[in-house]
Chains A and B, each alone.
Chain A
Amino acid sequence: MALAATIVVDGLIYASWLFVVALGLTLVFGVLQILNIAHGSLYAVGAYAAASAVGLFASLGFAPVFSLLAMLLAAMAVALILGPILERGLLRLFYGRGEVVLLLVTYALFLILEDAVKLIWGVNPYYVSEPYQLFGNVAIGPLFYVGYDFALVVLAILCGAAVWFGLNRTAVGKIVLAVIHNHEMSASMGVNVNRVHWMAFTFGVFLAALGGAFTAPMISVQPGISVSVIIVSFAVVIIGGLGSVEGAAIGAVTVGLARAAAVHLLPEAELFSIYLVMAAVLIFRPEGLFQRAAARKI
């Protein structure tokens, strides 16, 4: 029983930041039809930027509480700088070339960003310790958890609720949904599709960077974190169905629980378990859990 509780708690904590990252991935796919391999690199950039920003705030003499603000600002800065540059300057050139070509473009971008990150921040790990103790410890049964981990769960719920509300209850969201549904028709109805594209991409970058920034205190920020994130978030969005917010949530929880169960019961199968779940879901629901079957084209 205690073991089951541990697995659930660990799984939810893992699912929380994963959901934030995967939400960005699934939104970008929904609007731009791009499965962005470089999303993991953007996560890494967010984590590094947060490490720098928290260090900067600490050296300026702000109280540790402000490190949360520093991380948020870092994620915003990454999104506002990289989002428009990458979408307008690069991805735009390849629209209409098919999903696979765009996948390879983002793969090239991933390779470029990997080295760019090393050039900017070096190869030594960064540790962001200031925010981690802000929320104290929480006791669940005999085990103690760091409060920060639960703050992440709250952050994930906030992000999910905000995105759901924004998409379904605001005018801007309706426009975005219209573009997801049909680019050409939206354009002919007077929607500035190009603007929706770069804004959606920038928001996707923001979510990736936000995930990276707020996990930075839990991990050592070093080269290689982007790869592990991208393969797991791929699994999440595929399980949930590409382009679906609810799907990303269910997918993240599924992956989080599967991984936590594997870590506690069969540690050898950690990575294996995630992809096994993904393969199992695809075998029974070929388009993911939350995807409606597409009309067949003749």
Chain B
Amino acid sequence: MAVVKLPTQLRAAAGGDGEVRVEGETVGAVLDALYALHAELRDRIADADGTLRRFVNVYVNGDDIRFGDGLKTPVPAGAEVQILPAVAGG
């Protein structure tokens, strides 16, 4: 079980929730489980082929998955998977 933390911009598409608990051993599996609960989220953060849009950042326990194995990055039990917009800062 992983805890997915959603940014404010995505909460309306998840029934207002900021946190969603889903099963999955990789980021890709966690996101698929998330899309199964809230289909609209898929269009918002992923392209048609399932790759994440270029302005979406995903972190597993605080680490950007681009430092790991992208969507294949393992998600340990109880891990926090955070989705955030990339266009901040600087």
A binds B: no
Residues of A within 8 A of B (CB): none
